[in-house]
Structure 1
Amino acid sequence: MTSTTVATGPGGISPPGAAPRPRRRGPRRGRLVQVAFLVPAVVYLVLFFGYPVIKNVLMGFQEYTTRTFYTGEAPWVGLTNYVTAITDPVFDRALLNTGLFTVGSIAGQFTIGLLIALFFHRRFPLSGVLRSLLLLPWLIPMIAASAVWRWILDTDNGVLNRTLDVLPFIDSRPAWLTSTTLALVAVIVVNIWLGIPFNATILYGGLQEIPEELYEAGSLDGATGARAFWYITWPMLRGVVTVVLVLGVVYTLKVLDVILGLTNGGPANATQTISTFSYHMSFREFDFGVGAALGNILVLISLVFAIAYLRLNRRRVDE
């Protein structure tokens, strides 16, 4: 191999006709390109996520009312807003309803979503079309879906009660949305219906990543059916399950539009959750400080659950 050098004239200037030396691009230019791509994302996160969170935290320690919009004065009150929120008679009921609503919704969404994902994991004709139709509840706006379900669950003219009238062993029409014992159950059922597509889609994607060779090897050792699910599918799906459960709980804790569209927190606070209670205090009582305090409590509950579940799941994986 021969190497060629380019002669340079006095002062390091290349003579006419000589090939120019390639310029080396230093690491500084690469960093500038990286920063240029990161700046829009950082600005977006700061403006639309960071600022609202910080503002809400500050409002929780201020006397923030409609007068503040005119005077600009929001005096600091310390923990008064939190004390007012926690000692309110509605708070205990809202906290209990939040727990029941979250547990019921997540249990139903995850169980049905996993069963549907396992069903579609087996190939059969029109499976792709049916999977596409499964996404419809997820694509419908929440307010529109709530309006349709409110018509379905109407006591007098609802489709569900009219269907139940045909059955011979049911004489009464249940008051799905106006009964203090059935309203929360009805809201949970509707939220399960809305969350099934998300769970089924994510879990189906996780099932697709499991190698078929594992099932073939397991079948040789007698791991088929339920044994194959327990010893192969579930361990391989654990990471996806963690994502689905954490995101599902965080999302369900802050559900607002479904409850407002169906029951508006009633009857008699039977479906009142912390998120709807925060909305009520902020935009009906116009006590934005107490509403922000309730929102901060909800964020704290979500954060504690996410950290605790992730640590517990990591410990199980290590063991």
Structure 2
Amino acid sequence: MKWLVALFCALLAAPLAADELRPAVIELTEREPGIWLLEWKLPVAATTRNIAPVFADPVLPESCKMLGEPSQRAAPLALLGSARLRCSGDLSNERFGLSELVGNADALARFVPLDRPAQTFRLTAAAPTATIAAEPETWAVARDYFVIGAEHILFGWDHLLFVIALVLLVRRGWAVAGAATAFTVAHSITLVATTLGYTGLPSRPVEALIALSIVFLAVEVTRMLRDPEHETFTRRAPWVVAFAFGLLHGFGFAGALADIGLPQGEIASALVAFNLGVEAGQLFVIAVLLALLAVIRRAVPLAETPVVRAATYGIGIIGSFWLFERVLG
């Protein structure tokens, strides 16, 4: 059953950079009849050695011509650009987007005409451009933001490690579900409040506290493994701890949404869909981990504690690295 141990530990084989999920955004907006503004935000991959864009150039509709030279400037972990276009016709069935997307990256494209409803598209590496429809899809925004929310849990490693540590600490189906629900309610509160402008915190301390929440849970799991009979407050009421840290993680989700942006006129549906996507991704991770633990418990019961201990140490080390990086870097 060594493969089970390897599979469980593979969950921790993520890069030591907690890259937030920040899709590229490209928006085509009609400013006056026939005159359009194309704007784009392209995230960059940042390391201590280099900063390189992870997306290629914008793709214009065939009926559009650029007026003058595009303007571009660097922002923290992003490249921003804009260009004025002159376009003929309503652009139906024409394509715009990006020339390519690298790896698992994705992007959001928005088409905002003067006399028709706006359209939102999710771009992927397989389909980096979108076709402008004569009539927008009713559920396009909800679908796209649901997927982005799910991806934010599955590929936003700091949030993912918090959920994994929570499962390792609780390990009982209904108790995990209750703690996860408390986490979801809490991050939904701060996410909505921050997005709508009622509150907010600077990103650096929020990211440091998120890393601290991961370290805290890893320490709690280690204490449980050393003394299974001693119940700490976290073990007695995991939903309270999950709720408290969920408020912090909500600020992190809000930061990701601020980078992506919300479609005007459909903010409510986008927020609801994003939250539902986060919850769906979270429940998927919990179900997989509980099933994996159950398999290990039945097939090789003596391996359960070593596997959980190895996973916990891995989570604690990564969380500690992020904490020092975010406090000192």
More strand by share: 2
Larger radius of gyration: 1
Q: Normalising by structure 2, what TM-score?
A: 0.30
More helix by share: 1
